[in-house]
């Protein structure tokens, strides 16, 4: 059963068409990645899914119902969490407050507290700095916080926008390990990445996007060995 | 209730009770002490409280939600005109204040939404420009709506506005109980004090509520706030509407104290003044804003009464006018503040952190 499906979606900014008719399926329990170069339209797709942009044509279905034109806060209340590009933590709020904000739509205080504990176990670093403001964290720590905050809403579908952006290689490894772990815990993930190699290594299936269209799709292990992908995105001669 | 107070008070209930009792006694005694120096001082205090009310209203928009509003005086004007039109010989309508003040708040609230709705996508400088224009539009309307139907009486303003009447107590007259005289300004003082206490409680509760936290999130990062499931549209409108309602109530009381209003009272300078009070005190911190408003209301008046006699005593003649000195001191205070306390005299915790971050 597909949890999220995009059918022939077109998205434009004014006169410029950023996304020209793409179709993507994400099944429940899957970790799907959308890879592509800068400017391929990946972030635009995520914004449309989370309701921040309205597609000019096409259909987006989440959990069997159309979410085109639904307000972002309604979409997020239905269990879809976005980790925005560049992390988007609240820099002036403490880590604890940031996490609490992630649970904004939930009311059960006991469960929220236990979820916060889970977040701290996953990233002990965050616990050490719970009372510190998010703005004082390093890029990697902010990414940890952004992911933890998104998980505080107990999402069914997690949208990750370039979690590796601007991070040290060791931090990227750490973040991806967590992404894999979150996926294993049953959360469906749509991961957007420029780091094609890592994204293909952690995901089940992948879509390759270029110039606003999907150019390739398939099982990630297959794409990892596909000569076209190797040449264009992994920087290896075919 | 105690959770709003600083840590050191929360720990000791005795100090807290004593402190509150002393403040209550001081506030009750204040107008009687002041009226010994002249009723003018009670009147000044009343105007200071009006400015505190306005600053607290603006603080919701600027301090909590982070929306820079340079036309806030417009809501004050709307409230004042609603009161004036419904309680003066201008239309011959004389409604009691407890009907007009809520109407004024509601009309101001509507104007708040009218300003908020089209500016939802604007931030920072751009929003400031639109709100500035809005403030001027309202003032110009007040100035010109005397034709074809005489709605506002134009620049001549509306006079002989009814004073507030509470049961048999007319706030416009002096009441005598035996030898004890209670003049109008003292009655207004207690009325304003009651309104102020309510408004402060609402502000404090808002700050620590779900709504307050959502505003904080919007101020920090609107996109992230939206993806947390926060309805940013409604919450921004709510900030405008609530801020405007407080302005409307203050405007109504202003009209009744003054007995006369004209568009001249609602200029851009007033908007800037209220914003300065919020910024000086500490955006987002209720007590800071109260302090800022009181300081900026009283200091110029104290200067007015002290500068000239002081100069005469020292130099034998007046070298500098009180008004000129006031502007000089304002400028100096602003520079010193920006250097040493950029987040205000009593900054809010979050604002302080935000500033610390941007300068580090």
Please tell me the predicted confidence (pLDDT) of residue B141.
Answer: 93
For residue B247, which of B62, B45, B73, B60 has the smallest C-alpha distance?
Answer: B73
Using an 8 Å Cβ cutoff, are A209 and A203 in contact? no
What average pLDDT does the segment A176-182 reach?
92
Considering only CB atoms, which residues of chain B are within 8 Å of chain A? 210, 213-214, 216-217, 220-221, 223-233, 350-351, 353-354, 357
| CB nearest A90 (choices: B220, B232, B233) | B220
Per DSSP, helices labelled H in chain B are 7-11, 13-37, 39-59, 73-86, 97-116, 124-144, 184-207, 210-220, 222-227, 232-258, 268-281, 286-315, 322-340, 349-359
The greatest distance separating any two alpha carbons of chain A, rounded to the nearest whole angstrom, comes to: 55
Distance CA B69, CA B92 (A): 35
Please tell me the predicted confidence (pLDDT) of residue A38.
Answer: 83
What is the pLDDT confidence band of residue B358, given thresholds at 50, 70 and 90? low
Mutate to test the interface with A, among B210, B217, B228 (most CBs of A within 10 A): B228
**Cβ-defined contact of B354 to A92 (cutoff 8 Å):** yes
Summarize pLDDT for B175-230 with one digit per residue, the tens: 777 777 788 888 899 999 999 999 999 999 998 889 999 999 999 888 889 888 89
What average pLDDT does the segment A94-116 reach?
89
Opening angle at CA B24, ends B18 and B28, nearest 5: 145
Give yes or no for residue B172 having a pLDDT over 70: yes
Distance CA A72, CA A60 (A): 13
- Respond yes or no on whether the N-terminal peptide bond of residue A71 is cis (omega within 30° of 0): no
Please tell me the predicted confidence (pLDDT) of residue B191.
Answer: 93
Distance CA A211, CA B235 (A): 37
Measure in Å the smallest separation between the Cα of A82 and chain B Cα atoms. 6
Q: What ranges do the domains of chain A cover?
A: 2-85+155-232
Structure tokens at B329: 């001191």
What is the pLDDT confidence band of residue B8, given thresholds at 50, 70 and 90? low
Please tell me the predicted confidence (pLDDT) of residue A28.
Answer: 93
Distance CA B140, CA B150 (A): 14
What is the pLDDT confidence band of residue B356, given thresholds at 50, 70 and 90? low
Mutate to test the interface with B, among A43, A101, A137, A146 (most CBs of B within 10 A): A101
Residues in chain B closer than 8 A to A145 (CB atoms): none
Give yes or no for residue B3 having a pLDDT over 60: no
Give the full edge-to-edge strand order of the sheet including A16-27. Answer: A16-27, A2-13, A57-62, A65-66
Distance CA B275, CA B247 (A): 13
Please tell me the predicted confidence (pLDDT) of residue A22.
Answer: 92
In Å, what is the CA distance from B280 to each residue of B170, B287, B353? 36, 12, 17
| CB nearest A102 (choices: B214, B228, B354) | B228
Per DSSP, helices labelled H in B268-348 are 268-281, 286-315, 322-340
> What is the DSSP annotation of A135-151?
GGS-HHHHHHHHHHHHH
Helix (H) or strand (E) holding A47: helix A42-49
Residues in chain B closer than 8 A to A82 (CB atoms): 227
Task: State whether residue A88 sits within 8 Å of chain B by CB.
Answer: yes
Using an 8 Å Cβ cutoff, are A8 and A23 in contact? yes
Summarize pLDDT for B81-112 with one digit per residue, the tens: 999 999 999 999 999 999 999 999 999 999 99
Binning chain A into helix, strand and coil, the percentages to the nearest 5 are: 40, 30, 35
Which contacts (CB < 8 Å, 24+ apart) does range A141-146 have? Answer: A142/A87, A142/A89, A143/A87, A143/A167, A143/A171, A143/A175, A144/A175, A144/A178, A145/A87, A145/A89, A145/A95, A145/A98, A145/A99, A146/A83, A146/A84, A146/A87, A146/A88, A146/A89
DSSP assigned state of A204: S
Distance CA A181, CA A188 (A): 11
Please tell me the predicted confidence (pLDDT) of residue B357.
Answer: 58
Residues in chain B closer than 8 A to A133 (CB atoms): 353, 357
Give yes or no for residue A6 having a pLDDT over 90: yes
Give yes or no for residue A1 having a pLDDT over 80: no
Q: What are the backbone dihedrals phi and psi of residue B62, each rounded to the nearest 5 degrees, phi first?
A: -85, -45
What CATH number belongs to A2-85+155-232?
3.40.50.300
Summarize pLDDT for A48-93 with one digit per residue, the tens: 999 988 999 999 999 999 999 899 999 988 999 999 888 789 988 8
Residue of B nearest to A86 (CA): B224
**Cβ-defined contact of B354 to A72 (cutoff 8 Å):** no
Q: What is the Cα Rg of chain B in Å? A: 21
Give yes or no for residue B65 having a pLDDT over 50: yes
Task: State whether residue A84 sits within 8 Å of chain B by CB.
Answer: yes
State the average pLDDT for chain B.
88
Please tell me the predicted confidence (pLDDT) of residue B44.
Answer: 92
Beta bridge partners of A207: A34, A217
State the average pLDDT for chain A.
90
For a pLDDT cut of 90, what percent of chain A falls above it?
A: 57
**Cβ neighbours of residue A92 closer than 8 Å, sequence gap 6 or more:** A133, A134, A135, B216, B220, B350, B351, B353, B354, B357
Give yes or no for residue B122 having a pLDDT over 90: no
Distance CA B123, CA B111 (A): 19
Give yes or no for residue B354 having a pLDDT over 70: no
**Cβ-defined contact of B226 to A91 (cutoff 8 Å):** no
What average pLDDT does the segment B324-335 reach?
86
Please tell me the predicted confidence (pLDDT) of residue B1.
Answer: 46
Helix (H) or strand (E) holding A191: strand A188-193
| CB nearest A88 (choices: B213, B221, B351) | B221
Distance CA B321, CA B332 (A): 16
For a pLDDT cut of 70, what percent of chain B falls above it?
A: 94
Task: State whether residue A77 sits within 8 Å of chain B by CB.
Answer: yes
Residues in chain B closer than 8 A to A136 (CB atoms): 357
Give yes or no for residue A235 having a pLDDT over 80: no
Q: Sign of torsion, CA B322 B323 B324 B327?
A: positive
Measure in Å the smallest separation between the Cα of A238 and chain B Cα atoms. 41
* Residues 3-32 in A contacting B (C-alpha not used; CB under 8 Å): none
What average pLDDT does the segment B251-258 reach?
95
Please tell me the predicted confidence (pLDDT) of residue B19.
Answer: 87
**Cβ-defined contact of B229 to A153 (cutoff 8 Å):** yes
Torsion angle (degrees, nearest 10) of CA B139, B184, B242, B98: -110
**Cβ-defined contact of B228 to A153 (cutoff 8 Å):** yes
Place of tokens 């004389």: B94
Backbone torsion region of residue A41, taken as left when φ is above 0, otherwise alpha when ψ lies between -120 and 50, otherwise beta: left
In Å, what is the CA distance from B193 to each residue of B18, B173, B185? 20, 19, 12
Summarize pLDDT for A121-170 with one digit per residue, the tens: 988 989 999 889 898 998 889 999 999 999 999 999 999 999 998 899 99
ipTM score here? 0.82
Minimum mean pLDDT range among A153-167, B27-41, B173-187, B232-246: B173-187
Distance CA B299, CA B192 (A): 20
Measure in Å the smallest separation between the Cα of A159 and chain B Cα atoms. 11
Distance CA B326, CA B312 (A): 17
Distance CA A211, CA A36 (A): 9
**Cβ-defined contact of B230 to A52 (cutoff 8 Å):** no
Please tell me the predicted confidence (pLDDT) of residue A232.
Answer: 79
Task: State whether residue A44 sits within 8 Å of chain B by CB.
Answer: no
Residue of A nearest to B353 (CA): A92
Length of chain B counted residue by residue: 360
Task: State whether residue A132 sits within 8 Å of chain B by CB.
Answer: no
| Higher pLDDT among residues B331 and B56, named by residue | B56
DSSP assigned state of B261: B
Please tell me the predicted confidence (pLDDT) of residue A14.
Answer: 80
Measure in Å the smallest separation between the Cα of A135 and chain B Cα atoms. 7
């Amino acid at each position: 059963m597909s949890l999220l499906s995009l059918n022939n979606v077109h998205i434009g900014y004014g006169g410029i068409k950023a996304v020209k008719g793409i179709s993507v399926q994400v099944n429940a329990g899957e970790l799907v990645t959308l890879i592509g170069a800068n400017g391929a339209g990946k972030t635009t797709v995520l914004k449309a899914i989370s309701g921040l942009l309205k597609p000019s044509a096409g259909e987006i279905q989440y959990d069997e119902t159309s979410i085109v034109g639904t307000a972002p806060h309604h979409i997020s209340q239905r269990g879809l969490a976005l980790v925005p590009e560049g992390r988007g933590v609240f820099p002036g709020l403490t880590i604890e407050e940031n996490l609490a904000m992630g649970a904004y739509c939930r009311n059960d205080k006991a469960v929220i507290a236990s979820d916060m504990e889970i977040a701290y176990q996953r990233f002990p670093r965050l616990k050490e700095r719970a009372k510190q403001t998010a703005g004082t964290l390093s890029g990697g720590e902010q990414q940890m916080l952004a992911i933890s905050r998104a998980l505080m809403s107990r999402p069914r579908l997690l949208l990750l926008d370039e979690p590796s952006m601007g991070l040290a290689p060791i931090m990227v490894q750490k973040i991806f390990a967590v992404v894999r772990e979150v996926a294993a815990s049953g959360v469906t993930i749509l991961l957007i990445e420029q780091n094609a190699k890592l994204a293909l290594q952690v995901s089940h299936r992948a879509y390759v996007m270029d110039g606003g269209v999907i150019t390739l799709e398939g099982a990630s292990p297959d794409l990892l060995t596909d000569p076209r992908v190797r040449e264009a995105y992994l920087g290896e001669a075919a | 209730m105690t959770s709003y107070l600083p840590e050191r008070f929360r720990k000791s209930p005795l100090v807290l009770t004593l402190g509150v009792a002393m403040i209550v006694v001081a506030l009750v005694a204040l107008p009687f002490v002041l009226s010994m120096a002249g009723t003018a001082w009670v009147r000044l205090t009343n105007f200071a409280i009006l400015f505190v009310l306005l600053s607290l209203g603006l603080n919701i928009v600027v301090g909590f939600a982070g929306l820079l509003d340079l036309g806030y005086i417009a809501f004050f004007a709307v409230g004042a005109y609603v009161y004036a039109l419904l309680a003066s010989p201008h239309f011959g309508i004389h409604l009691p204040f407890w009907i007009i003040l809520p109407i004024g708040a509601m009309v101001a609230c509507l104007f708040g939404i009218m300003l908020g709705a089209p500016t939802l996508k604007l931030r920072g400088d751009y929003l400031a420009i639109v709100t500035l224009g809005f403030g001027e539009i309202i003032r110009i309307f007040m100035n010109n709506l005397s034709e074809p139907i005489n709605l506002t009486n134009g620049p001549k303003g509306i006079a002989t506005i009814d004073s507030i009447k509470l049961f048999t107590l007319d706030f416009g007259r002096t009441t005598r109980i035996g030898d004890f005289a209670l003049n109008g300004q003292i009655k207004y003082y207690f009325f304003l004090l009651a309104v102020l206490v309510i408004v402060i409680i609402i502000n404090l509760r808002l700050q620590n509520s779900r709504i307050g936290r959502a505003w904080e999130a919007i101020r920090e990062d609107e996109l992230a706030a939206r993806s947390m499931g926060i309805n940013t549209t409604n919450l921004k409108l709510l900030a405008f509407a609530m801020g405007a309602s407080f302005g409307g109530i203050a405007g109504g009381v202003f009209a009744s104290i003054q007995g006369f209003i004209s568009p001249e009272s609602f200029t851009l300078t007033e908007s800037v003044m209220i914003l300065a009070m919020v910024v000086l005190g500490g955006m987002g911190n209720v007590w800071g804003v109260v302090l800022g408003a009181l300081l900026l209301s009283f200091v110029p008046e104290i200067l007015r009464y002290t500068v000239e006699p002081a100069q005469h005593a020292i130099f034998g003649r007046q070298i500098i006018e009180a008004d000129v000195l006031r502007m000089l001191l304002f400028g100096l205070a602003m520079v010193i503040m920006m250097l040493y306390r950029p987040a205000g005299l009593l900054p809010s915790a979050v604002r302080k952190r935000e500033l610390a971050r941007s300068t580090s």
